Chain A
């Protein structure tokens, strides 16, 4: 159901759909805008309206009483867009009238002539459009050619060469293709072709602009003089007008320069980060060589890193795509804005905003879903515990040491609090370093060693399973205890905050010696002298009452 409007065109009554009416009204007022300044403009309007009425009356009948959107579209297609049929004379007339009006407002009569000349000179600057007439793919190269006044074949060659050497040009081409409007009307084609930019013209433009400023300044000085001489009250108004006109023209020049400069900066900034994002996200999946994480010690391949967190490679890909879209789309938007500023594109291309919004939303969804599924894998915690008692006949002093032979070459002597506590990944398993040793007091006369294996998982069952997957070993020989500084999990498992907690509980009176390498594992041992863990190694500690 549609609301209709009753209208009168050239004395005929039509019922027209409300939407169709809005379009018709806009169309007619656009035409009027072109003709209202020219001689006989009213008459042309009347003639055109008469023809519109005629076309509509041909399309309606007893059965079809309402003028629809399709009728209006058909009429516009037959009549044509105003910029396509307004003849040069009308355009020139319009331009002259507008100039005269402006000139009268801000300049003296004797300067009018000069101003007109210089205005004619730098108006009608070219716009960046895609050229549908001599295109190979999207008309981008041809458009660039027109914009810079270079033969498009050179631009095409540049694109092809850079495509084979750098590969980035395809990306640039596609972006330009998407964001650059097509020159579809004749006016747009003329704007696209515009004036050639060569050294001569650039020089001329710069000279003109300098002259303009100089002239305005002189004009302004003249006004000041007039003002100082106290001519008439009217002059004051004129003075302010020309003063602001002068400031305005300087501002316009400065702004357009900085605007373009800013556009260029935007392009470089966003282009650089997009490339960085693309390379790092693609690279993390494709790069097969070593990646350095804890200095030079643990060299990992990107796939290894991926398998640390993601249960399958696909989760990793989706997460990366989400990440890429989330950060990439705003960068792409900046890039587009930069290009539009640089080339002064005003015409909006359809669906860009929609496409960008959609892609960004998809990125967010991928990220949220990905993060949620990963976060879910960390939600529950479980632990296993096993305790071994050493025979009480053991000597009074126990040596605790770490199996230093198993520490990979090159790691320093401090606890590797590095990335995800990762030690190394080899062909058999993943090794982690978060093994924590604590020493406590017990009331019996035996020495107990408790190994707690902790892990997280999506459920208690899964967390328990993960905890059980942990492989940790130590050995006791006489009064010697040798602990591994790491535990391992099978290659198929991921990092889920696994941890091994060692507790040695000893009776009062027994002494322990924290041997070489124990700095790797000791964690917050309560002691009477409040000595920091670091300082406790290679010393004897005797368990006291407290």
Chain B
């Protein structure tokens, strides 16, 4: 049992949930998502995000549109699909349940 591996796995599962939650609040492009994730210290290196977004998109949970930018290259704005919204809500519920369960058990200590 290695603490680093466990931590990484916990973070990874939650990361997907968080990306979906961020997008549930409205469309966003990767730098916005990165900003939020970095603020909550969920992500260390930015490179992690791109394969995840790609996988979520390939799973049909996300879709995107291009938008020109004044200061940089064109941006990919991601939004949740219907499937993604359902998925996100389900995951959030599961998370709440898990969170409660963990807290309940930890309070007993």
Contacting residues, chain B, for A53 (C-beta < 8 A): 72-73
Contacting residues, chain A, for B73 (C-beta < 8 A): 9-12, 50, 53-54, 57
* 9-residue interface stretch from A35-43, A223-231, A233-241, A244-252: A35-43
Contacting residues, chain B, for A90 (C-beta < 8 A): 51
**Out of A12, A40, A79, which one reaches B46, CB within 8 Å?**
A79
Contact B72 A44 (CB under 8 A): no
Contacting residues, chain A, for B12 (C-beta < 8 A): 87
Contact A89 B55 (CB under 8 A): yes
Contact B47 A48 (CB under 8 A): yes
Chain B 50-104 interface residues, beta-carbon cutoff 8 Å to A: 50-55, 57-58, 71-76
- In the assembled complex, the Cα of A54 lies from the Cα of B45 at a distance in Å of 16
Chain A residues close to B by CB (< 8 Å): 9-12, 31, 35, 38-40, 43-44, 47-48, 50-51, 53-54, 57-58, 78-82, 84-87, 89-90, 133, 186, 189, 193
Top-8 shortest CB links A-B = A80-B45, A85-B47, A10-B73, A85-B48, A54-B72, A80-B47, A53-B73, A57-B72
Q: Knowing A9-B73, A51-B30, A189-B4, say if A44 contacts B50 (CB, 8 Å).
A: yes
Contact B71 A193 (CB under 8 A): no
Contact A54 B31 (CB under 8 A): yes
Q: Select from chain B the residue with minimum beta-carbon distance to A189.
A: B4
The 22 listed contacts between A and B (C-beta, < 8 Å) are: A10-B74, A12-B72, A38-B51, A40-B54, A40-B58, A44-B51, A44-B54, A47-B50, A47-B76, A51-B31, A53-B73, A54-B73, A57-B71, A58-B72, A80-B45, A80-B46, A80-B48, A82-B47, A84-B48, A85-B48, A87-B12, A186-B4
* Chain B interface residue number, banded: 20 to 34
9 additional contacts, CB 8 Å, given A10-B73, A40-B55, A57-B72?
A11-B73, A54-B31, A78-B46, A79-B45, A85-B45, A85-B46, A85-B48, A87-B12, A90-B51
Contacting residues, chain A, for B50 (C-beta < 8 A): 44, 47-48, 51
Contacting residues, chain B, for A48 (C-beta < 8 A): 47, 50
- In the assembled complex, the Cα of A465 lies from the Cα of B75 at a distance in Å of 92
Query: Is B44 in contact with chain A by the CB < 8 A criterion?
Result: yes
Contacting residues, chain A, for B48 (C-beta < 8 A): 80, 84-85, 87
- In the assembled complex, the Cα of A38 lies from the Cα of B55 at a distance in Å of 11
Query: Is B2 in contact with chain A by the CB < 8 A criterion?
Result: yes
Residue pairs across A and B with CB atoms within 8 Å: the count is: 82
**Out of A47, A58, A86, which one reaches B53, CB within 8 Å?**
A47
CB proximity of B37 to chain A, nearest CB, Å: 13
**Of listed B30, B31, B51, B74, residue having the most chain A CB within 10 A:** B51
**Out of A11, A58, A78, A133, which one reaches B4, CB within 8 Å?**
A133
Contacting residues, chain A, for B58 (C-beta < 8 A): 39-40
CB proximity of B10 to chain A, nearest CB, Å: 14
Contacting residues, chain A, for B52 (C-beta < 8 A): 87
**Out of B4, B44, B54, B71, which one reaches A47, CB within 8 Å?**
B54
Contacting residues, chain B, for A50 (C-beta < 8 A): 30, 73-76
- In the assembled complex, the Cα of A46 lies from the Cα of B4 at a distance in Å of 30
- In the assembled complex, the Cα of A39 lies from the Cα of B51 at a distance in Å of 10
- In the assembled complex, the Cα of A44 lies from the Cα of B48 at a distance in Å of 11
Contacting residues, chain A, for B72 (C-beta < 8 A): 12, 53-54, 57-58
CB proximity of B53 to chain A, nearest CB, Å: 7
Contact B45 A35 (CB under 8 A): no
**Of listed B44, B46, B47, residue having the most chain A CB within 10 A:** B47
Contacting residues, chain B, for A54 (C-beta < 8 A): 31, 72-73
Contact B51 A87 (CB under 8 A): yes
- In the assembled complex, the Cα of A38 lies from the Cα of B4 at a distance in Å of 26
